[in-house]
Amino acid sequence: MKATFNRLKLMKTKLNYSELFAVFLAAALVTAGCQSFCPMSKSAATVAAVQTKASQSAMTPESALAELKAGNARFVAGQPLHRDFPAQVAATAGGQYPFAVVLSCLDSRQPIEIVLDQGVGDIFSARVAGNVLDDDILGSMEFACKVSGAKLIAVIGHSNCGAIKGAIDDVELGNLTGLLSKIKPAIDAVPADAQPRTMKNYAFVNAVSEANVKLVMQQIRERSPILRAMLDKGEIGLVGGMYDLETGKVEFYEK
Ligand SMILES: [Zn+2]
């Protein structure tokens, strides 16, 4: 009786091991299959590679813009590339080859590398309230393009911008007054029929933001002979865009 019981116990144990093995096998097959075919797994693949001199040289103004668009699409879809940041830090320590320079607003809701899904060493980033231009930022852009080989300058404003609202409302505060004065020409550039011209008019605020981006693009061309020459030769591109705080999407202004 005791022997039978032991035999049964042994069978039960064997069965459990078999079942367990089957479960492990199934799990392994599912995992292997998923790694090959599932889009989720693909986006979860870890990226350790960085921009190199060769990859930067191979890019054009058009492919640089395409990459910014693709990055923003990944961000909006909630499927950013999974990056191995320590590996990217190590790989970029000896040099950098970013493919674009982006001027965007200081606003904390528009962290530009995140919303464009770019990693360490991918883009130069200049941020200032109202994404206004000054000589230092212009000099930084000349460094980015002429010295470091970036292929694209992107000026990206955003919806419901506090700096734009401040300029519309004639805010005066310390050094901010001078910064906001740089936005005033954009207010005048919006047609007179856009009414009411107040910071409470969301559509007007966004129209001024768009005009501001376009004026900054014009200033880059006018104030930098170095960048203008590169633009005329097609060595670099210049694009404007608007980030929507509500959707996370960047709308690029195509020609
Ligand atoms: Zn802003």
- 150 CA from centroid of ligand 1 (Å): 25
Do 28 and 57 lie in one domain? The reply is no
Q: Which residues contact 54 (CB under 8 A, 6 or more apart)?
A: none
Q: What's the start-to-end Cα distance of the chain, in Å?
A: 89
Do 67 and 28 lie in one domain? The reply is no
Do 107 and 16 lie in one domain? The reply is no
Angle, CA of 165, 125 and 199, to the nearest 5°: 5
- 11 CA from centroid of ligand 1 (Å): 71
Q: In this structure, what token pair is assigned to residue 249?
A: 């999407």
Do 115 and 194 lie in one domain? The reply is yes
Do 131 and 210 lie in one domain? The reply is yes
Reported as a pLDDT band with limits 50, 70 and 90, residue 15 is: very low
What is the model's pLDDT at position 44?
58
pLDDT, greater one: 14 or 254? 254
- 143 CA from centroid of ligand 1 (Å): 25
- 160 CA from centroid of ligand 1 (Å): 7
Do 172 and 60 lie in one domain? The reply is yes
Mean pLDDT of 171-185: 97
**Domain residues for 19?**
2-37
- Note the pLDDT tens digit of each residue in 17-69: 555 444 444 444 444 433 333 444 444 578 889 999 999 999 999 999 999 99
Do 100 and 205 lie in one domain? The reply is yes
- 97 CA from centroid of ligand 1 (Å): 28
- 206 CA from centroid of ligand 1 (Å): 11
- 106 CA from centroid of ligand 1 (Å): 6
- 75 CA from centroid of ligand 1 (Å): 20
- Note the pLDDT tens digit of each residue in 221-240: 999 999 999 999 999 999 99
Q: Is the pLDDT of residue 11 over 90?
A: no
- Note the pLDDT tens digit of each residue in 93-106: 999 999 999 999 99
- 161 CA from centroid of ligand 1 (Å): 4
What is the model's pLDDT at position 27?
45
- 34 CA from centroid of ligand 1 (Å): 42
- Note the pLDDT tens digit of each residue in 71-127: 999 999 999 999 999 999 999 999 999 999 999 999 999 999 999 999 999 999 999
What is the model's pLDDT at position 254?
84
CATH, residue 130: 3.40.1050.10
Do 96 and 190 lie in one domain? The reply is yes
Do 61 and 19 lie in one domain? The reply is no
- 158 CA from centroid of ligand 1 (Å): 6
- 240 CA from centroid of ligand 1 (Å): 15
Round to whole Å and give the CA distance between 73 and 210: 21
Q: Is the pLDDT of residue 137 over 50?
A: yes
**What percent of the chain lies above the pLDDT cut of 70?**
82
Q: Is the pLDDT of residue 9 over 60?
A: no
Do 81 and 146 lie in one domain? The reply is yes
Do 76 and 10 lie in one domain? The reply is no
Domain count, the chain: 2
Do 163 and 100 lie in one domain? The reply is yes
Round to whole Å and give the CA distance between 43 and 185: 43
The stretches of 153-237 forming alpha helices (DSSP H) are 162-168, 176-181, 184-189, 202-223, 225-232
Q: Taking the C-alpha atoms of 96, 242, 225 and 95 in order, what is their torsion angle to the nearest 10 degrees?
A: 0
- 129 CA from centroid of ligand 1 (Å): 6
- 124 CA from centroid of ligand 1 (Å): 19
- 149 CA from centroid of ligand 1 (Å): 28
What is the model's pLDDT at position 192?
92
